[in-house]
């Protein structure tokens, strides 16, 4: 029987002529209806933890563009927050955390991760589920341990994640402990999202690409694999997508190793090469350059067509190679969806 949700059908290995489409970071600042609601609530975390509002902004892009999936509106840094770290978001400056700059600072974190601290998020999922049409999938998510740890250690976003890389070299045992705690917290967080109604899970390892090979193995591959296996052991029917940004030539090996249902390709990866080198059992997601979507016009059309063509015959979910940029014109998103659905590639 055909799955009524195109996204899930593809994650089960079906190649479709018209790929399902959603966009990473599709809810947010490029939408006027988002900015209007955002202006009414002072802090970003309060915004995330108010279920009626978080549910509304989760649904906004699906209503406007008819995407095949909604992604839960929250942030990857709610896990450090629930672990007891101070987290805030300053407008225009990004996240600010109380940095873990030496091993002793790990004792500031709560001994026990209580997933129910994130109860508003589960209520958001329940609300979205109540309103989302049957043909649309609801994606839950978490940050991968390495990416989340990079913010916990630096106390902010950095261009090269140097503070966390240095911490991991200097204090490998303490860093391993931090990663282990994030694995455990992420697994219970994802399982609870699934219980609340998430149909699919995506794990974001945005900063994987900066690591040396031995470090990549320890802090990206092993923890993400453990999360995928632990979620799968309890919820075998829920597909998992992994976004390991900067995986480069390691992508086909990751497709085998991580055991995920899909690999989200960043912009730098040639989709035809990925399709030729990854098993048909692993769906590929991606990988339009977010700047092509800002530019629009011919450049956008050409890139859309070449991605659709390169991944035809392979289970494919159309997406960006990274999150949508706040300056993206809304008309370009409409044009993208129309063109993908016209099946021209
Ligand atoms: O569609 C959606 O927007 C869903 C909600 C969502 C998701 C999936 C948000 C809302 N954040 C995320 C994931 C996230 N957050 C990632 C992984 C994906 C990616 O790389 O894009 C990362 C690295 C973060 C950390 C983060 N949170 C940043 C980046 C900081 C840096 O290092 O450059 C920022 C700016 C935030 C705040 C944030 N999270 C989400 C939004 C809409 C915002 C902007 C806050 C605002 O309204 O001002």
* Residue 90 predicted with pLDDT over 90: no
The mean pLDDT of 174-186, rounded to a whole number, is: 98
The mean pLDDT of 91-96, rounded to a whole number, is: 88
Provide, rounded to the nearest whole percent, the portion of the chain with pLDDT above 90. Answer: 96
The rounded mean pLDDT for the chain is 96
* Residue 3 predicted with pLDDT over 90: no
The domains of the chain, with CATH numbers, are 6-341 (3.20.20.210)
| Cβ-contact 118, 87 below 8 angstroms | no
How far is ligand 1, taken at its centre, from the CA of residue 75, in Å? 6
Q: Evaluate: CB of 67 within 6 angstroms of ligand 1.
A: no
Ligand 1: atom nearest CA of 156 is 32
Let me know if 32 is exposed, middle or buried by CB neighbors in 10 A (0-12, 13-18, 19+): exposed
pLDDT of residue 91: 79
Q: Evaluate: CB of 96 within 6 angstroms of ligand 1.
A: no
The mean pLDDT of 116-135, rounded to a whole number, is: 97
How far is ligand 1, taken at its centre, from the CA of residue 89, in Å? 10
pLDDT level of residue 2 (50, 70, 90 thresholds): low
Catalytic residue check, 25:
yes
Token readout for 217 is: 């193995």
Beta strand 137-143 pairing with 69-71 = parallel
Let me know if 16 is exposed, middle or buried by CB neighbors in 10 A (0-12, 13-18, 19+): middle
Specify the pTM.
0.97
Selecting among 12, 16, 38, 341, the annotated active-site residue is 38
The mean pLDDT of 257-278, rounded to a whole number, is: 97
Question: Tell me: the pLDDT tens digits for 278-317?
Answer: 999 999 999 999 999 999 999 999 999 999 999 999 999 9
Helix intervals (H) in the chain: 6-11, 32-38, 44-48, 51-65, 78-82, 119-131, 145-154, 162-170, 172-196, 213-216, 222-234, 251-257, 271-277, 290-295, 297-310, 330-342
pLDDT of residue 93: 84
Taking CA 245 as the corner, what is the angle to CA 243 and CA 249, rounded to the nearest 5 degrees?
A: 105
> Which residue has its alpha carbon closest to ligand 1 atom 32?
157
């Amino acid at each position: 029987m055909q799955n009524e949700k195109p996204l899930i059908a593809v994650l089960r290995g079906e190649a479709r002529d018209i790929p399902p489409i959603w966009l990473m970071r599709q809810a947010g600042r490029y939408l006027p209806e988002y900015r209007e609601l955002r202006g009414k609530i002072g802090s970003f975390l309060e915004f995330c933890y108010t279920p009626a509002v978080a549910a509304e902004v989760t649904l906004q892009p699906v209503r406007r563009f008819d995407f095949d999936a909604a992604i839960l509106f929250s942030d990857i840094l709610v896990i450090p927050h629930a672990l007891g770290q101070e987290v805030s978001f300053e407008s225009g400056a990004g996240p600010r955390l109380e940095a873990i700059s030496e091993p002793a600072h790990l004792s500031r974190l709560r001994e026990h991760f209580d997933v129910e601290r994130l109860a508003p998020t589960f209520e958001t999922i329940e609300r979205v589920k109540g309103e989302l049409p049957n043909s649309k999938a609801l994606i839950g998510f978490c940050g991968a341990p390495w990416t989340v740890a990079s913010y916990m250690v630096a106390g902010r976003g950095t261009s090269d994640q140097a503070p966390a890389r240095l911490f991991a070299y200097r204090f490998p045992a303490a860093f391993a402990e931090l990663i282990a705690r994030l694995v455990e917290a992420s697994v219970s967080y994802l399982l609870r999202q699934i219980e609340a109604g998430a149909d699919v899970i995506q794990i974001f390892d945005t900063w994987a690409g900066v690591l040396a090979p031995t470090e990549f193995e320890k802090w990206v591959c092993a923890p993400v694999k453990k999360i995928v296996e632990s979620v799968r052991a309890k919820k075998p029917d829920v597909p998992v997508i992994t976004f390991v940004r900067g995986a480069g030539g390691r992508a086909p090996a990751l497709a085998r190793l991580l055991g995920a249902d899909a690999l989200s390709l960043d912009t730098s990866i040639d989709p035809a090469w990925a399709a030729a080198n990854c098993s048909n059992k692993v769906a590929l997601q991606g990988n339009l350059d977010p700047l092509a979507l800002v530019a629009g016009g011919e450049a956008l059309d050409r890139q859309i067509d070449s991605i659709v063509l390169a991944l035809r015959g392979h289970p494919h979910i159309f997406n960006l190679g990274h999150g949508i940029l706040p300056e993206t014109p809304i008309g370009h998103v409409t044009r993208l969806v129309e063109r993908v659905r016209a099946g021209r590639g």
